[in-house]
Amino acid sequence: MMHSVENRFIAIVCGAMLTFIAPLIVLLLTLSSERVARERLQNVQILMEAGAQALGKPLWDFDTDGIEQIAKSLIANADVLWVHVEDSSGSISVRIPPGPVDTSVPHTTISKEILYNSQDGEKSVGTVEIWVSAPGTLSRFSKDELIVFVILVVAVGIVFASAIIGNRITVIRPLMRLTAAIEATRRLGSRHHVDWTSDDEMGTLAHNFNEMQSRLEREETELKLAHGRATDIYNLTPSMLFSLDPANCITAVSDYWLIATGYSRDQVIGRTFTDFVDEHWHETYRARRSNGNATHANICEVTVPFIKANGETMTVLILEMKSATGDEHGGLSLSVMTDVTELKQAESRNHAQAITDHLTGLLNRQGFEAALDDAIRNADETATQLACIFIDLDRFKWINDNFGHAAGDEVLRQVVTRVRTTLRPDDTMSRLGGDEFAILVNAEQVEALASEIGDRICASLHEPIPVEGAELSVSASIGIALYPIHAANAAELLLKSDMAMYARKRDGKNGMLVFDTSMLDSARERHEMEQNIEAGLKEGWFEAYLQPIVSLCDGRIAGFEALMRLNHPEKGILPPGKIISIAEETGSIARIGERVLEKAVGHLARLTQLEGTETTYLAVNFSPLQFEETLPHKLAALLLKHHISPARIVIEITEAVLMLDNPDVHAVLKQLSEFGCRIALDDFGTGYSSLSYLNRFPVDIVKVDQSFTRSLTTGTADVRRKSRMLIKGIRTISHQMGCTVVAEGIETKEQWALLRKLGLDYGQGYLFSRPMPIENMLLMLEMESEAKATHRA
């Protein structure tokens, strides 16, 4: 049986002969045959011309014998089948051969008119018609021509046979030997060479094949050595190495893997790796390829519980690298397995510590946020409601400042103990930071339950808390928000419970309040006010209005109190109380105080230029946040700039400043007093221990709160009597301490008369003047001066 290469070669040669040589031979035969046919026809036509000329005289003379002789001479030509001579009158008709003619024989008919030159000129005397045979293609050739064609065909056949024999000798035989060498290598495993040498391409092919076989033999030897070394390294590496096929079946494990897991190699080879993984983690392991390594794209990692041979479970971290030869469906992989059981246990402990408040043992903010997310998911799944109870302790900062942080920590611990007694076992409590706590309550109708818990929490804090021999009173401001009624997510729920708590704190503390939408308006109002404050600081909208402080005995202006006002270009004067409250919470009060102080001192400098105001003083309110170490230096520089004596400046402070009991505040007040400024205690009589402040701090002026002034002429007779006694007592104590007394909020002449009778020194209020801008104040003072001058004149 021929080999395919030889078949293809024969097919190519045959195709070439059929495509090129055969058409050429056929074309040659056709052209030669047509040439021979044309030559024979031309010979017959010449013969017929001669015959036609010879027949002219016999036809004229009606010589029938002569006509037949000439016709016979025409038919003597081998190519002429039939001759017919006829005169013009139809009386003579000679046919050679006589009788009917076989018209089925292929032939060509030619005819010629017979002319005779008579005395009257050339005349047609008849016609001659000849049938010429039409021979076949080969029959047209002579014997010599056919011999030439046969020789040509034989030559082509010899070339064809020579090509096949040459191909078998030069191509097929070496290919057969090459194939035999390859087959022997495949069957026997050893590298066989080709026994063929020639100085052509096949010889080069055989030589290259032999060299390749030699090189592959050397490489196989080296590969076996490398495989042996790799196997040794695989087994001796102190790591749990294993390999998987695309079906996740174990194909190899290292010796260290067997030692660490307790299995034998026969027990694991061929088994699916998930057979050794806790069943709840099978899907996690199968999805490991989606957890790609950020550094190496073809490395994936997964952490799963692995079951050892003795039944124990260890947590393992698996790093798997796919083989570079693997296709898109997965290939062989190499994995390293590390026992991270202790690490995971440490992480769990660290996580527990990270989400736990070390002081109270409650969840911290991070833990609470995670618990809140879980609680919302649970509420969605069970179609229940969730309440967030936000707790902020009242006066806790005062406890820390006056009794120390250790006492404050003990208060927190006892508060947690009391609050826990009001909760259900499955309620979640956390300490968000400082004195802020949050509680999660889940129920079908949670609002009533949360309100009840809030009331119980407030009641649990009614009794004082004993700490280091002292009993400290603590109350709580509580805000409650509900999911999904008030909030759509965790952040919103926490925010709205916080808003409810702050609303409760603003309404007087020590109580509970459930969130409602009006609080959003308050929050928007507050946010708008914060923006106005920042814009006022940036654009210079803050102004210092002045209100006169007059002598109660004669009505003479003794000084001015500078009052902060924010004059919005569109909204006008904004409520100062809200501005101060928000500014103290946001910390911007210090910047506002600096702007107002600077403007107020500038106003005093302008007022000093008027007659009779050279000795008037300026009272400026200071927030507790303004008492920094640099305050005396800033004030000194400001007074020096406007040429104002420090004795004309009164620093007004409230009990909030003194209650801080801060050594730094004491030092600043002392520096201001030594500098020459006077200290005024504002809103005297409304605090817890105002009398002690007169002894402990350098107070020069006591300002009686306007509530006492108002009660002199309002309410029952008993209230008016007690108010007079209180004011008289404040005046007596203050004068004995060397302090001047100023009454605030004087609005009627009756109040003025009573206060003057009670011996108070100065007063201020709407009766004398409302707070006004500096331009209005200058105009008012100038008009009064003119009126006095006119009166004196």
Residue among 625, 528, 523 at smallest CA distance from 579:
528
Distance (Å, whole) CA 521 – CA 529: 12
Look at residue 60 in the predicted model and tell me its pLDDT.
66
Distance (Å, whole) CA 402 – CA 661: 8
Is residue 261's pLDDT more than 50? yes
User: Could you check whether the bond before residue 106 is cis, i.e. omega within 30 degrees of 0?
Assistant: no
Look at residue 791 in the predicted model and tell me its pLDDT.
47
Q: In sequence order, what are the residues at sequence separation of 6 or more whose Cβ sits closer than 8 angstroms to the Cβ of residue 602? A: 642
User: Could you check whether the bond before residue 484 is cis, i.e. omega within 30 degrees of 0?
Assistant: yes
Indicate the residue type of 529. Answer: M
Mean pLDDT of 364-376: 91
Across the chain, what does the average pLDDT equal? 83
Distance (Å, whole) CA 544 – CA 576: 11
Distance (Å, whole) CA 423 – CA 457: 9
Is residue 557's pLDDT more than 90? yes
Look at residue 294 in the predicted model and tell me its pLDDT.
53
Mean pLDDT of 599-608: 93
497 close to 389: Cβ distance less than 8 angstroms: yes
| 528-556 pLDDT, tens digit each | 888 999 999 999 999 999 999 999 999 89
Chain centroid, CA 94 distance in Å: 116
Distance (Å, whole) CA 252 – CA 334: 9
Which has more pLDDT, 482 or 523?
A: 482
Percent of residues, the chain, with pLDDT higher than 90: 32
Residue among 494, 206, 255, 546 at smallest CA distance from 372:
494
Look at residue 429 in the predicted model and tell me its pLDDT.
93
What token pair was written down for 494? 């926490």
What is the DSSP secondary structure assignment for residue 610, as one 8-state letter?
S
Percent of residues, the chain, with pLDDT higher than 70: 90
Distance (Å, whole) CA 503 – CA 499: 6
Distances from the Cα of 255 to the Cαs of 236, 273, 290, 311, in angstroms? 7, 17, 29, 20
Q: In sequence order, what are the residues at sequence separation of 6 or more whose Cβ sits closer than 8 angstroms to the Cβ of residue 627? A: 657, 662, 664, 665, 668, 669
Distance (Å, whole) CA 415 – CA 417: 5
Which has more pLDDT, 589 or 47?
A: 589
Distance (Å, whole) CA 666 – CA 133: 152
Strands (E) across 552-660 are located at 557-568, 572-574, 617-621, 649-653
Q: In sequence order, what are the residues at sequence separation of 6 or more whose Cβ sits closer than 8 angstroms to the Cβ of residue 552? A: 743, 752, 755, 756, 760, 761, 762, 763
Mean pLDDT of 191-216: 80
Confidence band for 168, pLDDT divided at 50, 70 and 90 = confident
Is residue 687's pLDDT more than 60? no
- Which residues are registered as beta bridge partners of 568? 572
What token pair was written down for 580? 């101060």
For the chain, percent helix, then strand, then coil, each to nearest 5?
Answer: 55, 20, 25
Distance (Å, whole) CA 171 – CA 161: 15
Confidence band for 325, pLDDT divided at 50, 70 and 90 = very low
Strands 762-764 and 572-574: unpaired
Residue among 38, 108, 113, 51 at smallest CA distance from 80:
108
Is residue 637's pLDDT more than 90? yes
- The count of other CB atoms within 10 Å of the CB of residue 295 is 6
| 487-535 pLDDT, tens digit each | 899 999 999 999 999 888 877 788 899 998 888 777 788 888 889 999 9
Indicate the residue type of 285. Answer: Y
- Worst-scoring range by mean pLDDT, 478-487, 598-607, 713-722? 713-722
| 49-89 pLDDT, tens digit each | 777 777 767 766 667 777 777 777 777 776 777 777 877 77
Q: Coil, strand, or helix at residue 307? A: strand
Which has more pLDDT, 215 or 134?
A: 215
Residue among 671, 677, 663, 654 at smallest CA distance from 597:
677
What token pair was written down for 64? 């029938």
Which has more pLDDT, 741 or 97?
A: 741
158 close to 166: Cβ distance less than 8 angstroms: no
Residue among 622, 606, 623 at smallest CA distance from 614:
606
Distance (Å, whole) CA 222 – CA 607: 106
Strands 250-253 and 107-118: unpaired
Q: In sequence order, what are the residues at sequence separation of 6 or more whose Cβ sits closer than 8 angstroms to the Cβ of residue 284? A: 302, 304
Mean pLDDT of 217-225: 83
Distance (Å, whole) CA 505 – CA 527: 18
Mean pLDDT of 762-773: 94
| 107-162 pLDDT, tens digit each | 778 887 777 777 777 777 788 888 777 766 555 566 766 787 788 888 888 888 88
Q: In sequence order, what are the residues at sequence separation of 6 or more whose Cβ sits closer than 8 angstroms to the Cβ of residue 748? A: 713, 767
Is residue 689's pLDDT more than 50? no
Strands 740-744 and 299-307: unpaired
Which has more pLDDT, 272 or 163?
A: 272
Is residue 724's pLDDT more than 60? yes
Distances from the Cα of 97 to the Cαs of 70, 92, 94, in angstroms? 13, 15, 9
Distance (Å, whole) CA 461 – CA 414: 10
Q: In sequence order, what are the residues at sequence separation of 6 or more whose Cβ sits closer than 8 angstroms to the Cβ of residue 458? A: 475, 476, 478, 510, 511, 512
Confidence band for 639, pLDDT divided at 50, 70 and 90 = very high
Look at residue 793 in the predicted model and tell me its pLDDT.
40
Look at residue 138 in the predicted model and tell me its pLDDT.
57
Which has more pLDDT, 70 or 685?
A: 70
Is residue 362's pLDDT more than 80? yes
Torsion (CA) 157, 162, 165, 168 in degrees, nearest 10 = -110
392 close to 432: Cβ distance less than 8 angstroms: no
Is residue 458's pLDDT more than 70? yes
Distance (Å, whole) CA 743 – CA 702: 9
Q: Coil, strand, or helix at residue 627? A: coil
Is residue 577's pLDDT more than 90? no
Which has more pLDDT, 324 or 422?
A: 422
